[in-house]
Amino acid sequence: MRALFLALLLSATAAFGQRIGYVDTQVLLKKHPMYVQAQAEVERLNAQWLGEVQSLFDDAEALRGQLEAERVLLTTGMAAEREKSISNTLDSAKARQVRYFAPDGMLFAKREELIAPIQAQVAAAIREVARRKKLDVVFDKGSNLAVVYANESLDLTNEVLQQLGF
C-alpha cells in the first residue's frame, strides 16, 4: 500500500515537474555527535531505572519467599502484616515502573528533552539544502515511508551532513 502511494506521489510530482530529493534521517542522526551522546544518556537512564524497578520486584519476591518459609511460625496478624509489606513493595515497583516508562513518563520526557533540539537542527539543515538545490519535495528514506527505488543522485544525506558541519 505504501509502495503504491509512493509510486503515485512520485509520478504526480514528475508530471508537474516538481524536483524531489531524499535523505536518510537515521544516518544523519547517528552521525550527529550530540545525538550519540543523547542516546547514550537515555540508555544509561533506562538501564538505571530498569535496575531500580527490578530491584523492588526482587525485594518483593524475596519477602514473599521469606514469608512462605516462616509462615508456620507466624501469627495470623504477623503474616497479614508481612503480606501488606509485600503488597506495598509491589505497588511501589509498579508505580515507579509507570513513572519511568509510561508513554508520558520520565524516560520519554528525557528523550524528548535531549533529542528534539537535535531533530530541529537536522530539519533546518534539510530545509537549507532543499532551498539551495531548489527542491520542491524531500522524502525521508529512514522513516516508515517505504522508498522502493531511489536514484542515488537525489540523496541529500551527505549534503545535509555537510550543512550540519559533520
In this prediction, residue 62 carries a pLDDT of 97
User: DSSP letter at 75?
Assistant: -
DSSP track, 82-149? HHHHHHHHHHHHHHHHHHHHSTTSHHHHHHHHHHHHHHHHHHHHHHHHHHHTT-SEEEETTSSS--S-
Q: What distance in Å separates the CA atoms of residue 121 and residue 32, rounded to the nearest whole number?
A: 10
DSSP track, 1-56? -HHHHHHHHHHHHHHTT--EEEE-HHHHHHT-HHHHHHHHHHHHHHHHHHHHHHHH
In this prediction, residue 148 carries a pLDDT of 44
Tell me phi and psi for residue 140, to 5 degrees.
-105, 110
Closest among 70, 67, 94 to 82, alpha carbons compared: 67
What would the pLDDT profile of 73-85 be if each residue is shown by its tens digit?
Answer: 999 999 999 999 9
Q: Which whole number is the average pLDDT over 104-125?
A: 94
Please state, rounded to an integer, the average pLDDT across all residues of the chain: 87
Q: What distance in Å separates the CA atoms of residue 150 and residue 61, rounded to the nearest whole number?
A: 54
In this prediction, residue 127 carries a pLDDT of 87
Length of the chain equals 166
> Is 112 a residue whose pLDDT tops 60?
yes
